[in-house]
Chains A and B, each alone.
Chain A
Amino acid sequence: MSVRRILVTAKLTGLELARRRIALGLLTALPLAFYGGSVGRGGNAVITGGVAMAFSIAGASIFVALTARPVDPRLILAGYHPTELLLGRLLLLELFGVLVAAVFSVVMVFGSDPAHPWATAAGVGLVALTSVPFGLAVGGLSPHELEGVLVLIGVVGVQLTLYSTQLMAKFLPFWGGQRLLDHSVNPNIAVGAAVPANILYAAALFAIATYIMRRQAPRVGGAERHRPEAAASIHAV
């Protein structure tokens, strides 16, 4: 594992993402519009805006995963380890997520005056944390951007229609953040296991993204190049 490879991947992912300014602007405007549209309906606006923020961060992650797919095999063949590429992207996208979460926190704390502003910030932070591995996993599985975005709309859409107290909501990846956002506007709702559950979801999604990446990577290449296999082998002489 090379820190330099991870950092170079992060840097160039950042450059590429920065050049998708219009798409990123639209992706960020969408959840802000969700929030703006429901701001007159009390605390719901914070939950809607915070959870819908996943559209922007997970959407960016899907774009990154899909754009890299045709190049990744060559990078791995050249010497990258699949995990280095994934960690580099994760690093950059989580930084992007922190930035977006900070903007949403400020807008929603000042716009809705929640009872526990810290829980608003923590809630959007958890949504951001989960959105990146969720987007990388969906991007790894989707054949094209359209399918990936449809899955994103489906999952986030269902999460938005459920109350955080409903059992089904707990089976969706953004429940932890949703619960904290709920708590921030309605202190009677206990935080419970929201934080560990959210971290667990994020870790599980990253493990899935890693598994998909390794499955799609060249069977032999980079660090694995000298590993012989029994029936079908490619090895150095």
Chain B
Amino acid sequence: MPVSAETVPAADRVLARRLGAPPKSAAGGPPALEAHGICKSYGDRTVLENRSLRVAAGEAVAIIGENGAGKSTLMRICAGLIAPDAGSVSVAGRVGYCPQEPGLFDLLSADEHLEMFAPALGLSREQAIREGHGLLAEFAFPLAQRTQCRHLSGGSRQKLNLALALLGGARILLLDEPYQGFDHGAYVSFWEHVARWRGEGIGVVVVTHLLADQALVDRVVELEIACHAAGDEQ
């Protein structure tokens, strides 16, 4: 269900103007991600029923929906973290996935996380720390403190969570409510980054509940509770 900027309240449109409205939609471009006929149930409960999603390279898509509509499940399936009961997902290149709950080692610092992810992404320790510091600095992460994650604020944990998703250069970003706990500056910076990623041809999918966000993306896809919904996107 596309949502235009006109359906967004005036205050949110002001923020949207400040951040820059999305440029020309990239929806017709080559696909960065294509999900077809996704079904997923947990026991008797159907979470996703015949869902489809296509994201073009350089396109930003927001996924909205009620609690329990399967937004996070769809993201996890698209990321490859869980298998769907039926359906298929195709991705062009590496996927960067930022989960809703930061999956971090409480007793390790940000640098140690970057070091842990480095060999998986084919980076040296120094490359990962340099690139990671660059990303973290852009979101005003407290780099100088070198604290263990258990001592970080919720927002700082989320910034590290996001940086780990971006590390190593992904072609499609799946961001599940990525700015929980962010202050206003970091939130604005996040959307500036989305605009930049889009310009670099990266497909971006953001799960959100904020109306303002919907004016900042190319398309909005609404998921409905599976028991009374058919496919959501054609």
Contact = CB atoms under 8 A, between A and B. Distances in A.
B104 interface: yes
Chain A binding surface, main DSSP class: mixed
Interface residues of B, number: 42
B131 interface: no
Contact of B83 (A70, A73, A77, A232): A232
Interface-centre pick from A80, A222, A234 (highest chain B CB count, 10 A): A234
Nearest to A224: B80
A218 B99 contact: no
A220 B107 contact: no
Contacts of B115: 8, 12
A67 B106 contact: yes
Contact of A67 (B81, B105, B168): B105
Interface residues of A, number: 35
Interface stretch (A14-22, A141-149, A162-170): A14-22
A69 to B, nearest CB: 9
A74 interface: yes
Interface in B146-181: 148, 164, 167-168
Interface stretch (B12-20, B118-126, B191-199, B209-217): B118-126
Given A19-B148, A74-B97, A232-B85, A237 B90 contact: yes
A16 B108 contact: yes
A152 B77 CA distance: 34
A12 B82 CA distance: 26
Nearest to A231: B86
Contact of B164 (A70, A74, A218, A234): A74
A236 B105 CA distance: 29
A225 to B, nearest CB: 7
B103 A74 contact: yes
A17 to B, nearest CB: 9
A236 B87 contact: no
A232 B148 CA distance: 39
A222 B122 CA distance: 12
A80 B116 CA distance: 10
Contact of A75 (B78, B112, B120): B120
A77 B105 contact: no
Interface in B9-60: 31, 34
Contacts of A221: 80-81
B77 to A, nearest CB: 8
B107 A16 contact: yes
B119 A232 contact: no
Interface string A25-67: 0000000000000000000000000000000000000000001
Contacts of A2: 119
Nearest to A67: B105
A73 B120 contact: no
B93 interface: yes
Contacts of A79: 119-122
A184 interface: no
Interface in A214-237: 218-222, 225, 229, 231-237
Nearest to A80: B120
Contact of B120 (A12, A70, A78, A236): A78
Given A78-B121, A218-B82, A237-B31, A8 B116 contact: yes
Interface string B98-138: 01010111111000100111111110000000000000000
Q: 3 closest A-B pairs (Cβ-Cβ)?
A: A79-B120, A78-B120, A219-B83
Interface of B: 31, 34, 77-93, 95, 97, 99, 101, 103-108, 112, 115-122, 148, 164, 167-168
